[in-house]
Amino acid sequence: MLNIRPATPDDIPDILAFIRELAEYEREPASAVATHADLLRDGFGPVPRFHCLIAEVPSTDNLQPATCNFLPAGFALYFYNYSTWRGHTGIYLEDVFVRPAFRGKGIGKALLASVAANAVAEGCHRLEWAVLDWNTPAIDFYNSLGATPMSEWTTMRLSGDALPALASAAYVPTRAVNP
């Protein structure tokens, strides 16, 4: 029995754990610096900047449906974007992760299917995400779902000191003074 549900603020410790486990798997553990306050502010405030689904599996301690405890097995974190060419919203899947002990049981596919169902229900015309080029198990899995690699595009990122440096060059219109 698999349960996939929207995350709540009570799930933030598990979301942070998933993020750190994913960063470890992707060989960038020091890069995962998000805090509880960051996720609370950006995911559960008045204007959520992201949405998150939690995949849970029953604990083997007690499999009685009425009293079953669930263990967090994985998550999918996504946000909406907009395609100017298509004139429609889309979803960008920032992270999808299933703990190693739960892999191979259809949880990753169920998480992706749930995000895809949200995209269809919201009238989105595409679901996109990035995958590291060395992560061949994930690439093979995504290909098996019908995903298409977009090899002609290069992802660009502006962060660190470069972001405020460029921002400081922003044009700020001056107000005309009436004589």
Active site members = 142
Q: Which residues contact 31 (CB under 8 A, 6 or more apart)?
A: 23
List Cα–Cα distances, 92 to 50, 81, 101, 126, in angstroms: 10, 7, 26, 8
Strand bridging mode 127-129 / 88-98: parallel
- Report residue 76 as tokens: 């999918």
Q: Specify whether the CB–CB gap between 88 and 62 falls below 8 A.
A: no
